[in-house]
Amino acid sequence: MKDTCFLPDFLEEISEDIDTQIESLGPCKIENPLRLPEACFVTDEMRISLRVSESYLREALKQKGTIPSAEIAGPRPYIYFDPSKTRAAVVTCGGLCPGINDVLRSLVLTLYHSYGVRHIYGIRYGLQGFIPAYGHDVVELNPEVVAQIHELGGTFLGTSRGHQPIDQIVDALERMNLQILFMIGGDGTFRAAARIKEEIDRRGLKISVVGIPKTIDNDIWLVSRTFGFVTAVEEACKAIRCAHTEALGAPNGIGLVKVMGRYAGFIAAAASLATKEVNFCLIPEEDFDLEGPQGLLAALERRLAERKHAVIVVAEGAGQKYVRGEKVEYDPSGNIKLGDIGTFLRDQIKAYFKEKGIEVYVRYIDPSYIIRSVPACVDDQIYCGFLGQYAVHAAMAGKTGLMISYLNHHFLHLPLAEAVKRRKQVNVHSRFWLSVLESTGQPRLKNES
């Protein structure tokens, strides 16, 4: 059997056809004002081959005669927009995530200092900020305004969830005479960005739309790692260590930690690998049984009999078959509302051992809102700086309908339409997940049928 090796950037091989062509608003005729050595500039012909499966590679070579590749990000020798006449706006959407303010700051500093753009606007409270009925103010951004925002968690501009009328958003872009729109968000934001671009195209406007991928869960397709993920793992590790200390402090102590991860268990898995103190890691991608001889409760009982303590980490989207109601409900962003797997497991564990007459001490920790609200760690701060810079380079060159992706150890341009086709998830047959199983020592937690 072919070994699906762990990829340090958490991305599986691409096994489906994707369109990597990036749209442009027109020819670039203005010399780039950046005072850089010629070798620092890149051209559209400079591309990076994508990591693809062997079967897809053979088919691509057979059908097209080329290996799939993507356009490399970076400053172009010539740009499309005249900086002295360019007006740009930035909006942050969806949930909070460490590093948003770092990206905002990088966008503003690059536009202002590198390109000389003086008209930069922050849209308050997500896409609501474009809609007149909400009455949100627009913030004028410059280096002085954003000087210290990277020291804060959350988003300086505020955010919101939910759909807003696309035609009214584009109306606002026209009224403000904007040439560039930066959208920081996840797959829901990118779907909205794609629709905004379509409406811009329908009206024949020359407005660049550039997306910067943001999700603490690290589940955006065609992105190796999203900003804020490393910070989230570091903060999750702190909670896990506290849970381990609590578990050691009492006979049959159980530390139970719930972390973010609606559809993907990257935070739970990476934190389990990092701490080496987790005995059970539960993620959405790997189904588990609660009852039965091979279920979680029986495995937990065996663990306590052997070691007198245990630590469980569960992603919020794991085990939803136990907690989701019959009627499916959705949040304002269109995501299925999750049942609370953390409190469910806490109560089930207590009830199971009470029935058996075994005294246990369960310490439940849910640090989700703390994790997503902290300032970014140094690694994420550096990463966010690059994302903001590359987004500005792409926009000033008149590119549109794209996101800035970190993929195959390079910053690339990839179409928004491709990024929203699917979600990235933990490959449970990969070396990465097998390493988690080795680290925890947990069995499969499934009863034989």
Are 232 and 260 within 8 A, CB to CB? yes
Tokens of 359: 């005294």
Query: Judging by DSSP bridges, how do beta strands 138-140 and 280-282 pair with one another?
Result: unpaired
- Measure the CA–CA gap between 431 and 194, rounded to whole angstroms: 35
Which residues are within 8 A (CB) of 101 and not within 5 positions of it... i.e. 6 or more apart?
A: 146, 149, 150, 152, 153, 154, 155, 156, 375
Amino acid at 366: D
- Measure the CA–CA gap between 418 and 86, rounded to whole angstroms: 28
Q: Compute φ and ψ for 340, nearest 5 degrees.
A: -85, 95
Tokens of 19: 């369109």
- Measure the CA–CA gap between 350 and 361, rounded to whole angstroms: 8
Are 67 and 134 within 8 A, CB to CB? no
Give the DSSP H or E segment for 171.
helix 166-175
How many CB atoms are located within 10 Å of the residue 61 CB? 12
Amino acid at 343: T
Active site residue: 102, 217, 219, 366, which one?
217
Tokens of 261: 């991860």
405, β-bridge pairs: 412
Query: Is 201 annotated as catalytic?
Result: no
How distant is the alpha carbon of residue 365 from its chain centre?
A: 23
Residues marked as catalytic: 217
